Amino acid sequence: MATMSNAASRTLDQPDEQVEKGGVTIDVVYLGDIKVKRANYPAGWRFSEKMGAESCGDTHVGYVIEGSMHARMDDGTEISTKAGDVFMVPAGHDAWTDEGCKLVQFDEFDSAARRFGVS
C-alpha cells in the first residue's frame, strides 16, 4: 500500500515526465510511490492498432475527465466509460476511443492488480 510521510499536492500542468506513446500524450507526476498520469487519447485510437500488441498487459485504475473509452477483455467482456466515471480494467484487454478521451490513472506500479485481486 502506498505510504507518504507528508501531505502533498502536485499539478499535472507541471509534470515530472511527459511522453508520447502510440499517439497518446501522457503527463506524469509522482506522489511518493504513486504514479499519477493524465492521458489524452486522440479520436479513433485503438490499443491493438497503435501499441504493437493485441492485448494490454497492465491493470488500470482511473477517472475519465472527458470523452469516452471502451475496453474488451480477453474473455469477451466489454465495458464503456464516459466523462465522470471511475474505472478499473484488469490486464488482458484491448481498448479504444471513437471520439477521443482524456483520463487520469493512478498507478502504484504493479500493486493495482494485487489490490483489486486480478493479478
Secondary structure in 3-state letters for 53-89:
CCCECCCEEEEEEEEEEEEEECCCCEEEEECCCEEEE
Instruction: With respect to residue 1, please indicate whether it lies within any of the assigned structural domains.
Output: no
As for how many domains the chain has, the answer is 1
β-strands 17-21, 86-89: how paired?
Answer: unpaired
Instruction: With respect to residue 84, please indicate whether it lies within any of the assigned structural domains.
Output: yes
Segments of the chain scoring below 50 in pLDDT: 1
pTM to 2 decimal places: 0.84
pLDDT computed for residue 8 by the predictor: 86
Domain limits at 60? 17-115
- The set of cell numbers assigned to 82 is 464516459
Cβ contacts of 9 within 8 Å, gap of 6 or more: none
pLDDT computed for residue 17 by the predictor: 95
